[in-house]
Chain A
């Protein structure tokens, strides 16, 4: 029998090899992928987030855990789609135009995936037009914008303006984050939410998608 405690530990310890191996076993045993995600993966990533919050984990541990989780999710996702399971919410994420910094955005994307969200990552240096067309096509619940440089943070404003112009602003919640971003700045540019780090982003995203269930 697939040892789910082992999968939980593998994600926590960033051991991608073991995570993939246990997931394969579980799939072979016909375990419900939705249950595997809700009962093992999401709690494991939540624990990773907790360890980061209390300063035990740092960026390297977070990235390793994310890789282990991704290895497992890559196997489970096609099965989920086939069974018609609904994700926690749909997210489009990207680093804004002018900025190539990827690490923070990747961490947020991984934590959201680990939180059961369906995440489309547009990458870095994403133009407002690209964000707009993705929101139009994918109809996400949430749009997450990241920037690391003080000089590129204004691109977030431009992107939100572009959404307004396209008449899509009301169709999606916008969350912003990154080193130069403050709650003040987020409000000023008309974003709906701000989070200080990747693990907080999951909490904020849940509040937007399921305001009733959020703690």
Chain B
């Protein structure tokens, strides 16, 4: 090793030596900096602040960061190099991982089982007593693959040249299970995993190459079974580890589990299940037939490409409302705000529409480029555009599934929102911006339906519901572009405004 330079990470209090001239991406990844675009230098999500030392802005810094950010010492963590000693401010924010309190199904079997929701961003595992169905313990963690890209496509790209992601996730889950079992690992007879198609392929060690190009059709969508020896997991040799089958394209067993958990396949009424993430997944159907699709929504719902975007953590504006006179912002932790999270973004745009500060086209009124929320947090014109792309993709996806089904929007009895974001988004705001084009009272937060469905699948070998599920590829649908563009605008919403805000003159 050649000369080293001292790198200090604030507020972690970590001091380390880095090889002079080396890039800091891998070191920073280990200390909680995330790289939403996988280090491509395009999203700005990995920015860190240089508190002391010199780091010349690179070409990518100049393109992605504002002059004010550059002047304040912000640099992209994926481009910064250890040329001289640096002191960096690394905001390592923790994220609440959504779990599920429901018990599994009681059975006559003995022993313990583990249900795992293997999400692109977060992992949740529960230990279940098979006989009673009781939940004995819970462990959550961030997916360690996150350092190699926030979205599934970045992971696929990384996996094409590197087999590390499979090892990473398997060893992380082995540790979680060991923690969860707390000495009782010998009693575990079954582990059930659910996740999207990319998570399925990467955990199972399957070739993700078919998922890297059209028609995004992998030959290996079925359930995969492993013995503990195959995975190097310290469980009884007779234990079975199962990753439940994918439904098609990018729609994975997390949606299958969601369908089971919300009983979408029970009854004749038409219902939808929507998982709002970077890859939005939609299932629509009843006991006769269920259609499913995935649509690339980008990272706006997680406040990814948003100028002042951040996770739903302390300091995030998570709630914005307009009472007809002024804006009210709710900040997580009741502290000075430092950014805005996904639910806050949707609220802010809904409030802006109510105020007339944002026009249905998405343009800010009066030629404004910035809308002040609560000092110093602001909403930028470009943020609204990002949200328009994301919500357009989801709304268009639902419209196309409805068309395939032969039903209208008002024929949907309820929409179940899966996942963390679905849990925190305010139904009224989601409707106001046209993300979900059904009345707010028909929106139901489904919680972690993937984890709940995984629990319900313990000991279940056969899923008759697979026979009525059909995957609809949206990318090749000739209607998609037109619908996507239609859905990018915001609803006029005169009625919603009248019903929801008090005018000062009244």
Residues in A lying within 8 Å of B, measured CB to CB: 55-56, 58-61, 63, 97-103, 106, 125, 149-152, 155, 179-180, 182-185
Contact = CB atoms under 8 A, between A and B. Distances in A.
Interface of B: 37-38, 40-42, 59-60, 63, 149, 153-154, 156-157, 160, 211-214, 361-363, 367, 369, 381-382, 385, 388-389, 475-476, 481, 484-486, 488-489
A19 B389 CA distance: 28
A125 B485 contact: no
A180 B40 contact: yes
Nearest to B79: A184
B363 A150 contact: no
Contacts of B476: 100
A182 B60 contact: yes
A57 to B, nearest CB: 8
A6 B361 CA distance: 22
B388 A58 contact: yes
Given A59-B485, A59-B488, A151-B156, 20 more contacts: A55-B369, A55-B385, A56-B367, A58-B361, A58-B385, A60-B488, A97-B213, A99-B213, A102-B481, A103-B484, A103-B485, A106-B481, A125-B214, A150-B38, A151-B157, A151-B211, A179-B42, A180-B37, A184-B59, A184-B60
A166 B214 CA distance: 26
A150 B161 CA distance: 13
A182 B213 contact: no
Given A100-B214, A151-B212, A184 B41 contact: yes
Contact of A55 (B38, B154, B382): B382
Given A63-B485, A98-B212, A180 B475 contact: no
A150 B157 contact: yes
A19 B352 CA distance: 33
Contacts of A56: 363, 367
B32 to A, nearest CB: 23
B488 A55 contact: no
B214 A98 contact: yes
Contacts of B389: 59
Contacts of A179: 42
Contacts of A58: 361-363, 385, 388, 488
Nearest to B298: A179
A75 B113 CA distance: 69
Given A58-B363, A60-B485, A151 B42 contact: no
Contacts of B367: 56
B300 to A, nearest CB: 13
A55 B40 contact: no
A60 B481 CA distance: 10
Contacts of B369: 55
Nearest to A97: B213
Contacts of B214: 98-100, 125
A182 to B, nearest CB: 6
A128 B489 CA distance: 36
B480 to A, nearest CB: 9
Query: Could you say which of B42, B60, B63, B367 has the most chain A C-beta atoms within 10 Å of its C-beta?
Result: B42
A150 B389 CA distance: 17
B475 A182 contact: no
Nearest to B484: A103
A182 B40 contact: yes
Contacts of B149: 150
Give me the 9 closest cross-chain CB pairs, A-B, nearest first.
A98-B213, A151-B212, A55-B381, A100-B475, A151-B157, A100-B214, A150-B157, A60-B485, A60-B488
Query: Could you say which of A98, A150, A180, A182 has the most chain B C-beta atoms within 10 Å of its C-beta?
Result: A150
Nearest to B160: A151
A150 B37 contact: yes
Nearest to A103: B481
Nearest to B476: A100
A72 to B, nearest CB: 20
Contacts of A61: 361
A60 B361 contact: yes
Query: Could you say which of A97, A100, A106 has the most chain B C-beta atoms within 10 Å of its C-beta?
Result: A100
A101 B407 CA distance: 27
6 contacts: A60-B486, A97-B213, A98-B213, A99-B214, A101-B475, A152-B212
B495 to A, nearest CB: 23
Nearest to B363: A56
A183 B59 contact: yes
A182 B41 contact: yes
Contacts of A155: 213
A184 B369 CA distance: 29
Nearest to B362: A58
A155 B154 CA distance: 15
A105 B153 CA distance: 20
A102 to B, nearest CB: 6
Contact of A152 (B40, B213, B488): B213
Contact of A150 (B40, B382, B486, B489): B40
Contacts of B381: 55
B30 to A, nearest CB: 23
A190 B448 CA distance: 46
A180 B149 CA distance: 13
Nearest to A187: B59
B485 A151 contact: no
A181 to B, nearest CB: 8
